[in-house]
Amino acid sequence: MTNTKGRFGEFGGQYVPETLMNELIHLEEAYNHYKNDPEFVAELDSLMKNYAGRPSRLYYAEKMTRDLGGARIYLKREDLNHTGAHKINNCLGQVLLAKKMGKTRVIAETGAGQHGVATATVAALLGMECEVFMGELDCQRQKLNVYRMELLGAKVHHVKSGSMVLKDAVNEAMREWAGRVDDTHYVLGSCMGPHPFPTIVRDFQSVISKEAREQILEKEGRLPDVVMACVGGGSNAIGAFYNFIPDKGVRLIGCEAAGRGVDTGETAATMAVGKLGVFHGMKSLFCQNDYGQIDKVYSISAGLDYPGIGPEHAYLKSIGRADYVPITDEEAVDAFEYLSRTEGIIPAVESAHAVAYARKLAPTMDKDQIIIICLSGRGDKDVASIAKYRGVDIDE
Amino acid sequence: MSKKIADAFQNGKAFIPFITAGDPSIEKTKEFILTMEKAGADLIEIGIPFSDPIAEGVVIQEADLRSLEAGTTTDTVFDMVADLRKETDMPLVFMTYLNIVFYYGYERFFTRCEEVGISGIIIPDMPYEEKGECADIAARHGVEVISMIAPTSEERIRTIAGEASGFIYVVSSMGVTGVRSEITTNLGSILGHIREVTDVPAAIGFGINTPEQAKEMASIADGVIVGSAIVKLAAKYGEGAAPYIYSYVKSMKDAIR
């Protein structure tokens, strides 16, 4: 019999070294206390509103809708949040929680740098020391974000172990945390890792679907037919899905990074090619070889090239509640350019994966149907690398 | 019939070296294990490499990657142990991460362990709460799942120790494996709590490097575990590491006799 704590079906759990177990237990207790503490809730609400700029807009993308000729398309504008992505929702929650727990220092992993920037931002605001772990390859792909984090007072560790990308940054952050739990909280950036992280991150991100559900009811008087979001670890997607899960008529679609294609070996499409395993503290699906060694994964998007996926997504897939589709680099880059031209909105290359699938799906739907795309982040950070992908060398 | 874990603690304080299988090659690992037995090792931990060993410091991480690069798999490690059994009956345990065992299949993995005479397994990312994954299957095949106790375990010590079998792996320090100049944890108090609930032998590991440290640890525990210092020798001297490993292991065992 396995531990039932923090399970989503068979997925989830707490697969961490003993050194971290008591800290996870303390974290769960503290979270269960503060999530019902009126003072904590009011403080977080105020920060979400006055600092992050919530609620984020639900924008009717009229030109895109007309151009695709099918379902009405709405964009949930998480890109308009302070720091330019949904990541701030989770960081405000976790760093505030850490502060209440008496911690004085936060650490985080980051892929594209958005979660690192958001953590560094909130740490600056709340007066916490901050150190961010980022794979050396990602540091090179996202130099601006490295500088941003340093500007915000964080120390950035360039992780040179393993494949030098997001999974290695998570490894290093976990190692660091195991060495220093007394004053340090690990602000995990996605709905992954050991319990209670998948639940905490989902709860802090669920504000996305809470708002979107109210907003669409107000604008259209009905629920959407489809909610879609990009998935790496899956935090913006779980946030966008969560309050729609009980609405059986709402189709939930996660768009994962296929890289150069799911059959090429250069992919990060965990749902398409991953198998059940145990890694980074959780039982979930992972890209791995025939002996359970974790694969190197690839995507043009530094935020999606993670070899696993949050346990709640694996569960939603297993019960057929959500579908997951792979989107290639090329499709994502096309969508990046498409949304920029069509709506004047430059999406993060991560979010462009969801836009790409909307371009395929919307034309097959009726004109009275509705799609909500979670536009998880803005694309300023990606402009240089997209230019490079298109053969234009510009100086960052 | 190979010897059991309990036999390793019949010869005074136990010296328990760790070696990453397949670094620099699986044949050399076999030679290093036999060398360590001759040098006085009482029990040997064989590491099955994992791509992302989150409880390891940089020395063992790099050894794991070198080993995987050299083509080591779970099957080649089992084959090596089977081969080794023609030459030694000393107690052997595995150390690896849960995904390696999970992916191989619990029943299949522990059946193989029983066949080749592996008497225990250390899985650093399977804490007490998740023992249900494979503890029963392991036990059915005569493989003891080694429990770990850390400086942060506090009130968990009694619970964990109370159900421990084989030996208890006491983690000396916070953080990951690797050589440390100083160990500051109050290990005496941890060992005291363990002794209140069980007679299962307890060995201290993480950070131990010098014979002096080993002696100090052996004065409060039943055994001493050393990994990174040995893996470092294999990394430094490669194919020719055996004599260096021999004299190091001998100096450590002599220090705790």
> Is the CATH code 3.20.20.70 the one for domain B13-146+203-209+224-249?
yes
Cβ count within 10 A of residue A192: 28
- Helix residue spans in A206-348 (DSSP H): 207-220, 235-241, 270-273, 311-318, 329-343
Quick one: which of B217, B194, B202, B219 has its CA closest to B9?
A: B202
- In chain B, which residue's Cα lies nearest the Cα of A168? B52
Q: Can you give the pLDDT at residue A3?
A: 65
What span, in angstroms and rounded, lies between the C-alpha atoms of A311 and B11? 47
Determine contact, residues A326/A269, Cβ cutoff 8 Å: yes
Q: Report CB contact under 8 Å: B149, A293.
A: no
Instruction: State how far the alpha carbon of B201 is from the alpha carbons of A300, B136, B197, in Å.
Output: 52, 21, 12
DSSP annotation string for A176-220: HHHH--SSEEE---SS-SSTTHHHHHHHHHTHHHHHHHHHHHHHH
Our CA angle for B143, B149, B154, nearest 5°, is 145
CB-CB neighbors (< 8 A) of A17 in chain B:
54-55, 124-125, 127, 148, 150, 171
Q: Can you give the pLDDT at residue A396?
A: 57
Q: Can you give the pLDDT at residue A297?
A: 94
Q: Can you give the pLDDT at residue A1?
A: 47
What span, in angstroms and rounded, lies between the C-alpha atoms of B201 and B169? 9
The counts of H helices and E strands in chain A are 16, 14
| Tokens 């131990």, located at residue | B208
Domain coordinates in residue numbering, chain B:
13-146+203-209+224-249
Interface residue of B48, B50, B54 to substitute, partner A, most A CBs within 10 Å: B54
Q: Give SS3 for A160.
A: coil
Tokens representing residue A25 in the block: 């237990």
Sites in chain B below the pLDDT cut of 50? none
**Number of residues written out for chain B:** 257
**For the segment A53-90, what is each residue's pLDDT rounded down to a tens digit?**
999 999 999 999 999 999 999 999 999 999 999 999 99
Average pLDDT, chain B: 96
Task: Enumerate the β-bridge partners of residue A59.
Answer: A75
Q: Report CB contact under 8 Å: B54, A174.
A: yes
Interface residue of B130, B153, B170 to substitute, partner A, most A CBs within 10 Å: B130
**For the segment A16-27, what is each residue's pLDDT rounded down to a tens digit?**
999 999 999 999
Q: Give SS3 for B14.
A: strand
Q: Is A28 a catalytic residue?
A: no
Q: Is A62 a catalytic residue?
A: no
Q: Report CB contact under 8 Å: A14, B73.
A: no
How do beta strands A370-375 and B14-20 pair? unpaired
For A21, the closest of B55, B58, B156 (CB atoms) is B156
Sites in chain A below the pLDDT cut of 70? 1-3, 395-396
Q: Is the peptide bond before B49 cis (omega within 30 degrees of 0)?
A: no
Determine contact, residues A89/A127, Cβ cutoff 8 Å: no
Determine contact, residues A223/A252, Cβ cutoff 8 Å: no
- Residues of B at the A interface (Cβ-Cβ below 8 Å)? 50-52, 54-55, 57-58, 61, 65, 68, 73-75, 97-100, 102-104, 124-130, 132-133, 148-154, 156, 160, 171, 174-176
What span, in angstroms and rounded, lies between the C-alpha atoms of B80 and B41? 19
Instruction: State how far the alpha carbon of B132 is from the alpha carbons of A13, A25, A385, B54, B126, in Å.
Output: 12, 18, 46, 21, 9
* Phi and psi angles of residue A62, each rounded to the nearest 5 degrees, phi first: -70, -45
Sign of CA dihedral B114, B120, B123, B129: positive
Q: Give SS3 for A231.
A: strand
* Phi and psi angles of residue B26, each rounded to the nearest 5 degrees, phi first: -65, -30
Q: Report CB contact under 8 Å: A21, B129.
A: yes
Our CA angle for A52, A57, A63, nearest 5°, is 140
